[in-house]
Each structure stands twice: as structure tokens, then as C-alpha cells.
Amino acid sequence: MENNSEIDRTREASLPTPQETALRRSLLKAGFGVGGVLMARQAKSTFDTPYQCTLSGQMSGNVSRNDGTTPNCKIGLSPGFWQQPSRFTTDWKVSAPKICKKVSGAWTIYTGTNPPPFPEIKDTTKWRVSGTVTVSGSSVSCSLGATLSSVLGTTVGLTGIPNLANGSSRQVSLWELVAYGNDATAFPQPIGQFARHIAAAVLNAKAYPTTYPITIPQLRAIWDAITGGGTSAAGEYDLMGTGLDFGEIQDYLNTTWG
């Protein structure tokens, strides 16, 4: 039989931490529902159950399938899809990047399948991701596209890649994250990889607003909770001690795209 002290310890261990309580409030405001405490200790076990298509289903353990038929609702597109310049004019539903490349001494709009290698794209004699160039006699504004912070509607973002465009203090674009977020020479890790997953989810939420299982407000709540609302002096985001496991969030997001 358990004595009183053992019961008290068990009860205390089951209580949410102050950080988890704060996280619960932010996610409730974003519309997750009362049970929607992503990655609180009592919710982590749901990630051991079969895939649930919605966040609420994932967290409650209930079967919630967006397509109504299959247990795997891969209805979004991966970071690898979104990073392709050839997709910018057809699939992006926010301000798309416009990467300019010099070929045989003349500037062109880059439409290749893969993004330029990270060390190479910083060479402004061959590549431009900001400023204006002349392409076939017309003036073209090269751009990195919409930023993560502007689309999420938050002041919390990641700072720019040094030497890529307009300094390292600017907010990074969604394309920078899907193209280079997993590159430790471009972004501090593990936050770069996590931000890459969030960026792809943001693009999916914009492209498929009626079917993608996560909304922009929900993604904003997750992002703000993980980043803690600010940066350290070194410019790297500190992960809050919320009980969240960002690796498990990444695993969930991986199940939402094919």
C-alpha cells in the first residue's frame, strides 16, 4: 500500500509545470481546445499511437482523419518540394522568392529543380537574391520572398544568413528555411531544422487552408512557445523548458506531407 508521502510525490509529478501551464494558455488562445497541450507530459504518449490526422486527434488519441478513409493523411508538401525554384510561380500562395543567376555574362531568373548550393549562392557576382538586375532588357527585382515572421504574424522569427542578403539582422524568408534550415553552416541547430519544418507547414497551411490539419494561428502558437519570444545575445533561439519536444513535433509534421 502506498503511504501518504508516496501518494503526494505521485500527485506532484502529474501536475503541469508553470511552463506547461503557460504553454497551455497560448495554445488555447490559438484554438487547440481544452485538451490541446502539445507535448505536455500527459500528452506525449499519444505519439506512440497510430497517426492521427489533426493535432487535436493526435493529442487526444482519438481517430480523426481528414480524408475520412485512410489512417495516413499526407495532404501537404515537404520542405524538399517547397525549396524548388521551379515551384515558385505555380505553388506558392505567399510572396515567392525570385532568384537571379548569371549565365554566360547575362542575368536570368533561376528555375532549376534544386536550390543553389549554400556556399555558392552567397557569391553576388553569380547569384542575386536582393537588389535589381536586368534580365533580357527588363529590370527585375531579386528577392528571398515572404518572411516567416510576416506570414505567421509574429515578431518572433529567425535572423538572416550572414552574407546572403541585406545583413544578418533581418528576418529570414520561408524559402531560406526550407532550402537551408537543415544546414548547420547556415542556421544554428537544432532550431534551424525545426524552423524548416514550421516553414513547410506554413506554406502548406496557406496552399491548402481547408484541408491541411494545422492552421496559421496554431503554427504561430507553437513557434512562439518554442522560441520563447526572443533571442539570446548570440542571436540563437533558446528553447523554452516547456516540456515540449520539438523533435516529436517534427515527427508529427513529417506525417502531414508526402
Q: Which domain holds residue 165?
A: 79-94+146-254
Mean pLDDT, residues 92-105 taken together: 96
Tell me the pairing of strands 132-135 and 138-141.
Answer: antiparallel
Residue 231 domain-assigned (yes or no): yes
Q: What is the pLDDT of residue 252?
A: 77
Residue 211 domain-assigned (yes or no): yes
pLDDT in tens, 117-143: 999 999 999 999 999 999 999 999 999
Residue 134 domain-assigned (yes or no): no
Residue 40 domain-assigned (yes or no): no
pLDDT in tens, 15-72: 445 544 554 554 444 444 323 334 333 333 333 333 345 544 444 433 333 343 444 4
Question: Cell digits for 73?
Answer: 493523411
Residue 83 domain-assigned (yes or no): yes
Q: What is the pLDDT of residue 250?
A: 82
- If residue 140 lies in a helix (H) or strand (E), which one and from where to where? strand 138-141
Other beta carbons within 10 angstroms of residue 5's beta carbon come to: 8
- If residue 154 lies in a helix (H) or strand (E), which one and from where to where? none
Number of residues written out for the chain: 258
Mean pLDDT, residues 97-106 taken together: 97
In this structure, of 10-24, 27-41, 88-102, 184-198, the range with the lowest mean pLDDT score is 27-41
Question: Cell digits for 69?
Answer: 478513409
Q: What is the pLDDT of residue 5?
A: 57
Q: What is the pLDDT of residue 87?
A: 92
Residue 230 domain-assigned (yes or no): yes
Question: Cell digits for 107?
Answer: 542575368
Tell me the pairing of strands 127-128 and 132-135.
Answer: unpaired
Report the alpha-carbon distance of residue 108 to residue 197 in Å, rounded: 30
Q: What is the pLDDT of residue 4?
A: 55
Residue 37 domain-assigned (yes or no): no
Q: What is the pLDDT of residue 74?
A: 59
Report the alpha-carbon distance of residue 30 to residue 150 in Å, rounded: 17
Cα distances (Å, whole numbers) of residue 79 to 35, 82, 203 = 29, 5, 9
Reply yes or no on whether the pLDDT at 150 is more than 50. yes
- If residue 54 lies in a helix (H) or strand (E), which one and from where to where? none
Edge-first strand order for the sheet with 127-128 is: 106-109, 100-103, 127-128
Question: Cell digits for 160?
Answer: 538572416
Peptide bond into 190 cis (omega under 30): yes
The model's confidence at residue 232, banded by pLDDT at 50, 70 and 90, is very low
Residue 5 per-residue DSSP state: H
Q: How many domains does the chain have?
A: 1
- Residue 202 and residue 152 in contact, taking contact as beta carbons nearer than 8 Å: yes
In this structure, of 79-88, 118-127, 207-216, 249-258, the range with the lowest mean pLDDT score is 249-258
Mean pLDDT, residues 211-235 taken together: 68
- Mean residue pLDDT of the chain comes to 74
Residue 36 domain-assigned (yes or no): no
Taking the CA of residue 206 as centre, how many other CA atoms within 13 Å lie in the half-sphere pointing to its CB?
20
